[in-house]
Structure 1
Amino acid sequence: MSLICGSLSWLYKNTDSVGLLQENDCCDEKGETGLSGTEEPAWLASYEHSNISRHNEAIQSTIETALEPIRNIRQQSEETLSKNKRKVSQLSVHKQLESHGKRFKGDKTRCVRLSTDLSGRKNDDLVSSYNSDGSKRDDHCLAQPFGNAGAIGLGTENGKGVMKIFYCSRTHSQISQFVREMQKTVFGKQVRVVTLGSRKLLCIHPRVSKLNSDIAMMEGCLDLLRHVKKRTDPSSASSCAFYNPDALDEYKNYALAHLHDIEDLHQLGQELAVCPYYGTRQSLDLAQVVALPYTMILSAQTRESLGIDLKDNIIIFDEAHNILETVQDIHRAEIDSTNIVKTRRCLWRYLQKYESRLKGQNSYYINQLLAILERLGNFLRHIRKVIKGEPETSKSNIVERELERQLEGHSEVMHKMLRIGDFLCEADLDHFNLFKLIRYLDQSDLPKKLIGFVEKLQTSKNGGLPNDGSTAESDETELNSRHISPLRTLQSFLQALINNSIDGRILVKITDVPFKNISSLQYLLLNPSHHFEDIVKEARAVIFAGGTMQPVQHLFDQLLPSVPREKIDVFCCGHVIPPTNLMGLSLSTGPTRQILEFNYARRNSLELFDELGRILFNFSKIVPGGIVVFFPSYKLEATIVNRWRDTAQYQNLEKQKKIFREPKRTDESDRILKQYSDVCKSKEILGHSHCNSGAILLSVVGGKMSEGINFSDELARCVVMVGLPYPNAADPELLEKMAYLDTKRSGEGRKYYETLCMKAVNQSIGRAIRHISDYASIVLLDQRYENHLIRCQLPEWIQKRMLPAIQVSQSFGKAYSNLVQFYSSHRKRTR
């Protein structure tokens, strides 16, 4: 709510009635002309100012005209609104159905009755003529039918256009919550908001929406749009009845007239029989607030395809504690041996069939792609032969020597990191022009053409009979395989190879496990700042917000190294709860004075496991409601629970509170969470008193329970962090990242390692205390929490409420006494 009120207050204070930035705020430090420290004649300045004023007036007039239908919709009654929506639906769909000779039956499932066959394509799978010099992409507009101002003709030069706030979050549920909270403010009835989402969430086409892969849905959608663009019969089964430019403009008006979350926008598309995916993109030019997932704004390619213009706009990254990892994951690419074999086989068959008919340079580039696939396969086969000890004629290289060293350790998974340049030489790819090959894949539509070709191959293998759709499962499999091009994975991997060599690495991974001998090549991004620079340069301001952002120094060092420190403002605020509503403490010893240190050396200490059981048993006697316990890993949690079962500690603990364990499978988490919640909220559990009723939830740092789940009130009256959740120190990606950071500044790798641990701690313990009346205790179980360098990385609002380590950490009795008083005082208040 603070983000909403603060950002929208600034927006309305600094923009005019249509959303344009007011002229006195438009000028940057260099002035409107861009001249700095130079004089110009008064007549020239006056002339330029007049031109700018006329240009601004023209834009304002255009926007005023475009906003008129939106204002009219806002004034309509519910009855009129429904009637007009039906008219739009009739205009966008009925005519096409009538021309196709089908009668439309108006009901809630009318959208599911349209365009029921994607396989009725009449065109063949032959790529169009292609020449690398001066070539033009045939269907380059398919992926981006609208620019940022395509609908109303707004120019975006000099940043002119409706001022926007881009609100970005990790999940669509968080974005929907943001929109719902906005409805509660005074801005709710006037601000123009649109939420962008993937086809998976917005597509209403009955066949495309069934595809369970984003890539498959994109390919299927663009396949249909190609027929629309080529002006083939729009009512045919091979085109999309929901893609209509006039109807999309109507969708934009309805979408911006009121606040809608992603589910509302999908429903609006069904009501209007208009594509919500392209309808929301059509709404971008007039929107004042654009809500979207991280991935859509962090990828330059995605921004371009969506028509997102960041120039002089404001970007808010909410829940930004994992922004670095998100940038790295978005730009990760992987290809494995299975994919290489499959893609090469399909592409070779394609060339074999069409080689005599291919025009331009198609044959040349396809042969280049086949050569690259062959070399990638040879490279991985060579590595596998080294593992199996088979003789090789080629001389030993740096990869072979490293793998031979790992073989001595009998590792099942062997790996080696390579710089991009070294990998290209080792794989014999250094003489290929990857830039031209990527442009060819992007412009020739070969990946799409290969989809149809592969489908026909599969059909011929089945005796020439198409899938009869006898079962839902077989139909879904056929749909997905049809619309995923084998070339897409190769295209992504080649795109990664043209990145700056020092910014990333190639991880060669060889798995030597029976029945799972898959080799792979992964591109890992080590320097996320390179992909974030354009965002920082274009945007007026970038805001990183979150409740558990600390520590933040690594964010400056890795994401914003080119930004002067004086241009970065850090604002930390306290929690709304009174000081008496939170007690924080760390423990170095347990009830029997056993030292608490959950490190690798003591990973099998039975005495330590028993001491933890005794601590939780004592806590369960005084803590009302729920206790959430976070373990560093699933393995440690399972080991400790098994020990408790062997010693009857588990049974004794369950007599105090029912125990729930976080499952590894995320699809089971909701069920466990629901059961845990029901037990915690019940007033009387199996005849227990109020003090020891409730439950214990054994969770894992990095699992679903530690990310995005809010344990308010009785769901977490106590949060226990077991040990320090340091990431796996043997992880090759982590080691390479640390080594890379050490090249920037000595000791940075170790700092990054510590930061990853404390970020995980803060994210987990921050699940409790969700409102002003909430109360809980936070207990850190490990003697290393006494270290000032570790404690100072906790959130400030927790640090201020932590009991001094010298008072309680060495004495479980003193800590327990403080907890007894804490819960006793809150019981008295609630009576």
Structure 2
Amino acid sequence: MENTKRREFSHPYTPYPIQVDFMEALYDCIESYKVGIFESPTGTGKTLSLICGSMTWLRKNKAQLAVSTASADENEPAWVLEQTIQLAREEFSRNREMLQKRLDKMRRKNMRARISYEQGFKRAKKAPEPVDDSQFLPEDYSEVIKPEVQRLLSALAPPVENDFQEPVKIIFASRTHSQLSQFVGQMQHTTFPPSSDLQDLESTKLISLGSRKQLCINPRVSHMNSVQAMNDACRDLREGKKGGCKYYKNPHDALGKVDINTFRDTTLAEILDIEDLYKLGKHTSTCPYYASRASIPASEVITVPYQILLSRSARKAIDLPVKNSIVIIDEAHNLLDTITSLHTMSITKSQVSSASSGLQKYQHKFQNRLNSGNRVNLGYLVNMLQALEVFFEKAQKFHKKETAPGTPVTTSSLFDGSTADLINVNRLEKYIDESKIVFKIESYLEHVNGETQEKSHSSSLVLSSVMEFLRQVNNPDSEGVLCFDGPTKLKYQLLDPSEPFKDIVENARCVVLAGGTMEPTGDYLEYLLPYLSQDQIKLFSCGHVIPPQNLSVQVIPNGPNYSFNFTFDKRNDEKMILDVAITLLVYSKIIPEGMVVFFPSYKYLEQVVAVWKKAKKDGKNIYEILNDQKRIFVESQHDSVEKTLSEYAEEVPKGAILLSVVGGKMSEGINFSDGLARAVFMVGLPFPNLMSAEIIAKRKYIEQSVSEKMKAKGVSAKEALEASKGAARDFYMNICLRAVNQSVGRAIRHANDYACIFLLDGRFGKPEIQKKLSKWMREGIREGSFKEALGEVQQFFASHEKN
């Protein structure tokens, strides 16, 4: 570091040197308005480093940021400017002090939302009540209110009252709510100096935001299976004529404001996670989904799941304040895939048929009770679905090549030969939103079918899925493609994730992508942030907290009898597959406790196990022999992860082997610390399916875009072709190596942990592969013969037995 004087980061423990480096780099990244890509291996205290680095910057700078917005004419005398700044500083401190006193009072009254897990909130089943089928009818629909009148009515509505707005916030996003809860748990261990010298104390003010699925406490809404149906059901209750939702507090109503303010102060008085908010809402009969928004202005930290941060419509719906905020995205190795998947949708022939059938059943039942607006729009919906059915019927007669995965489809061809192409889809979208028709239809179908929960779940999702697909196709992203995924499936896929992400980058003060395994970083630079120059990006990667002698990384190019080369052409070689079992058997006699073995896919894992069980020696197959040495547990695509992991952990002290899948349930989010993984084996390179619709479409897009860029620079067509093919290959390889890094990175969890990593494939010895491995792993990588590696591993574990 250039700074000779280290900053004080209020870390709750004595930080490792690499944590200090991380926090210093993060502070500088925020200070200089950059986009940061930060890699800190699992077990190095990444979460606390993120918290302490960002909160230290926030507390040191937010008072100055608030003062800098004080309005004074630069042409005024110096003493006037100075007085204005002083008054702004005093007002800033006074506001925070008043808030702090109010929150302290809330704590003293013990009004926080700490309701024990033992109490819980079991949703009692009510006896069936007579059903009035008029509840399934939409409100009479017409577009009589002009947009100008709607804007006027909105302007006349009274404003929502708030204390004050913090000048800058930290928005922390992660993939799952469990990961966000872990972040909140770490935040609860921290305290930071106040942002003003005039304050003695300033508690951290954090609010956890979530979707209706996580926060809705009304069983009439929360039982709905699709997001669209939940949204519609919620609106139907709030805007309905039969009393509305008893949990929703109107911010424009005097009593509603009191309840919302109480909820707001309770959430800011203590650091609560999403489950705490749900329980608080139940305890106070206040909707946490809506009431939590009142905490946004005064909060310093906001936690959100990916699907809220990365969706422009979701951000707008909750008014997430990205402008000038510090946006931290954890577990960012998933980011490219997550953005793509959020903007990718597919439908099948059977889904369309099911939706069409359900819609016509509803239409037949209520046709004579609907007003003209509803009848017309339902007719349009039926026409569109029937046109899609005809399209799929035609597609099944096409030549196989015409419907091969990744083959583009024009939107106009979906409705060829029908009147559906004349329908105003934008107006139809508006009808779907305002009439809540999806919720009405799904509720009716669930009622009349008397379905089981499982069947209902499947049925109710169908109409929502088809409607969402039609929305996406009608409003395509500039860099998306509609294509076949076989004759009975259509897929709309986003090809350029940089476009939807650009809005966040351009509005936030700083964006930080953090993860335990961010290598290889090339994809983020090329496909997520291509519009940024190198000096606008800060790359940080630290080593591991463990000493070098606690990690052994071995490339194993061959087993006792055969070379390991798990390419597509050779991976089915049963002799090589058997040699993997023999390799594991040999090492299982040296390696104590648990061994985790990763395979490229569930299908290949099943194939390997079948080969092992087929080959017999002395009356036993190799699977049974290996199982006698260390009990084998196999990850299943369908069974409970918790059950398998629990049984495996129980057996680990006696010796156990866990056969897992890269990208499966065991490869992410589960940490194999200490004895759970004294060794991790990676069998082959887990390349994605080259013939999938996603990969084909993405490869074509990369090749075309790179070729166009190269030609624009004046290079020859041949050079442009070579560059485009190389870029596509590199992207394909990056997907594979990122998955390898993520899987093997779960083995080391703390400074005293130790483990061996075995890479079973000769290709791992290639420099172009090794340079894409995580820095902490490639620094100590070794390659040798089977016997040489065996000798080193014996010494490795012998040395740790002595310690």
Coarse TM-score class (shorter-chain normalised): 0.7 to 0.9
Gaps of 5+ in 2: 1-47, 194-201, 251-255, 707-723
Show the counterpart of 1:719: 680
Q: 1:622 is matched with which residue?
A: 590
Counterpart for residue 561 of structure 1:
530
Structure 2 distance, partners of 1:240, 1:121, is: 22
- Aligned counterpart, 2:285: 273
In the other structure, the counterpart of 2:12 is: none
2:772 and 2:184 map into 1 onto residues whose CA distance is 32
Partner of 2:40: none
Shift of 1:374: 2.7
Residues 1:758 and 1:43: Cα distance change in structure 2 (over 3 Å): same
Q: 1:820 aligns with which of 787, 790, 794?
A: 794
2:625 maps to which residue? Answer: 652
Query: What's the counterpart of residue 763 of structure 1?
Result: 742
Query: 1:417 aligned to 396, 407, 424, which one?
Result: 407
CA distance in structure 1 between the aligned counterparts of 2:146 and 2:85, rounded to whole angstroms: 36
Q: How does 1:155-304 map to 2 (within 5 A)?
A: 161-187=166-192, 190-227=203-240, 233=243, 239-241=245-247, 243=249, 245=256, 246-304=258-316
CA–CA distance in 1 between the matches of 2:504 and 2:663? 28
In structure 1, C-alpha distance between the alignment counterparts of 2:470 and 2:530, rounded to whole Å = 27
CA contact (8 A) 1:127 1:449 kept: no
For the structure 1 residues 346 and 538, does the alpha-carbon distance in structure 2 shift closer, same or farther, using more than 3 Å as the test? same
Q: TM-score, normalised by structure 1?
A: 0.77
- 1:14 aligned residue (51, 57, 61): 61
Q: SS at the partner of 1:760?
A: helix
Q: Give the letter for the 2:317 counterpart.
A: S
Q: 1:134 to 1:659 in 2, by over 3 A?
A: same
CA contact (8 A) 2:238 2:248 kept: no
**CA drift at 1:346:** 5.3
Q: Secondary structure at the match of 1:334?
A: strand
The Cα of 1:297 is off from its aligned counterpart by 0.7
Report the equivalent of 1:23.
67
In the other structure, the counterpart of 1:96 is none
Q: Which of 572, 584, 593 is matched with 1:604 structurally? A: 572
Matched to 1:8, the amino acid is: M
The 2-side partners of 1:721 and 1:281 are apart by: 45
Secondary structure, counterpart of 2:110 in structure 1: helix
Q: Tell me if the contact between 1:205 and 1:242 (Cα under 8 Å) persists in the aligned partners.
A: no
2:110 maps to what in 1?
Answer: 81
Match of 1:799 among 757, 778, 786: 778
Describe the shift of the 1:309–1:44 C-alpha distance in structure 2 as closer, same or farther (beyond 3 A): farther
What is the Cα deviation at residue 341 of structure 1? 3.8
Match of 1:783 in 2: 762
| Whole-Å separation in 1 of the counterparts to 2:682 and 2:173 | 30
- 1:642: which partner in 2? 610
SS in 2 for 1:545: strand
- Other structure's SS at 1:570 match: strand
Query: Match of 2:180, as an amino acid?
Result: I
In structure 2, the CA distance between the partners of 1:119 and 1:335, relative to structure 1 (3 Å rule), is farther
Could you tell me how far apart the structure 2 residues matched to 1:122 and 1:361 are? 17
Match of 1:435 among 417, 426, 439: 426
Does the CA contact (< 8 Å) of 2:391 and 2:415 recur in 1? Answer: no
Q: Does 1:589 align with 2:558?
A: yes
Shift of 1:534: 0.9
- Kindly provide the CA deviation profile for residues 576-605 of structure 1, in whole angstroms up to 9, marking residues without a partner as x: 11111101110112223x211111211221
Q: 1:735 aligns with which of 680, 689, 696?
A: 696
- Quote the offset at 1:114 in angstroms: 10
Matched position secondary structure for 2:185: helix
What whole-Å deviation, never above 9, does each CA across 1:373-398 have from its counterpart, x for those lacking one? 232222112223x1xxxxxxxxxxxx
Query: Using the alignment, how far apart are the partners of 1:363 and 1:644 within structure 2?
Result: 62
Highest RCO, 1 vs 2 (Cα 8 Å, sep ≥ 6): 2
Asked whether the 8 Å contact 1:717–1:776 carries over to 2, the reply is yes
In the alignment, is the contact (CA less than 8 A) between 1:195 and 1:261 conserved in 2? Answer: yes
CA offset digits 1:429-456 (Å, max 9, x no partner) = 655443333233333444345456657x
Deviation at 1:115, TM superposition (A): 13
1:312 aligns with 2:359: no
Q: Structure 2: how far apart are the matches of 1:481 and 1:601?
A: 38
Change (3 A) 1:140 1:172: farther
Partners of 1:343 and 1:487 within 8 A in 2: yes
Assess, with a 3 A threshold, how the Cα gap between structure 1 residues 53 and 152 changes in structure 2: closer, same or farther. Answer: farther
- Structure 2 residue 498 is matched with structure 1 residue 529: yes
Q: What letter corresponds to residue 387 of structure 2 in structure 1?
A: R
Aligned to 1:508: 484
For 1:715 and 1:672, locate their aligned partners in 2 and report how far apart those are by CA, in whole Å.
13
> Which residue of structure 2 aligns with residue 677 of structure 1?
649
More displaced, 280-289 or 774-783?
280-289
| CA shift for structure 1 position 329 | 1.2
| Distance change in 2, residues 1:404/1:714 (3 Å) | closer
Question: Please, which moves more after superposition, 359-368 or 244-253?
Answer: 359-368
Structure 1 position 556, deviation (Å): 1.6
Q: Deviations over 1:83-131 (max 9, x none)?
A: x989x9xxxxxxxxxxxxxxxxxx9769869999896797772434433
Amino acid across the alignment from 2:798 = S
The amino acid across from 1:578 in the alignment is: P
Give the letter aligned to residue 637 of structure 2.
K
Indicate if the aligned counterparts of 1:73 and 1:257 stay in contact, CA closer than 8 A.
yes
| Aligned residue in 1 for 2:104 | 71
Helix, strand or coil: the match of 2:233? helix
CA apart distance, 1:219: 3.4
Counterpart pick for 2:658 among 682, 697, 705: 697
In the alignment, residue 494 of structure 1 is paired with which amino acid? L
Q: AA paired with 2:642?
A: D
Q: Is the counterpart of residue 749 in structure 1 residue 728 in structure 2? A: yes
Secondary structure of the residue aligned to 1:447 is helix
Query: How far apart, in 1, do the equivalents of 2:130 and 2:318 lie?
Result: 24
RMSD: 4.0
Q: Contact between 1:719 and 1:768, CA under 8 Å: does it hold in 2? A: yes
Deviation at 1:192, TM superposition (A): 0.6
- Name the CA shift for 1:627/1:349 in 2 (closer, same or farther; >3 Å): closer
- Is 1:548 equivalent to 2:517 in the alignment? yes
Q: Is the 8 A contact 2:598 2:681 kept in 1?
A: yes
Alpha-carbon distance, 1:661 to partner: 1.0
Residues 585 and 780, structure 1, Cα contact 8 Å, conserved in 2: yes
- Residues of 2 paired with 1:260 and 1:270: CA distance? 15
The one-letter amino acid of 1:671's match is K
Asked if structure 1 preserves the Cα contact closer than 8 Å seen for 2:631 and 2:656, the reply is: yes
Change (3 A) 1:679 1:602: same
Using the alignment, how far apart are the partners of 2:437 and 2:557 within structure 1? Answer: 63
Preserved contact between residue 415 and residue 510 of structure 1 (Cα < 8 Å): yes
Cα distance, 1:317 vs. partner? 0.6
Q: Tell me, in whole angstroms, the C-alpha distance in 1 between the residues paired with 2:371 and 2:318.
A: 32
8 Å contact kept, 1:333–1:524: yes
Q: Which amino acid aligns with 2:543?
A: G
The worse-fitting range, judged by mean Cα deviation, of 359-368 and 170-179 is 359-368
For 1:41 and 1:775, locate their aligned partners in 2 and report how far apart those are by CA, in whole Å: 61
Cα deviation, residue 538, structure 1: 1.1
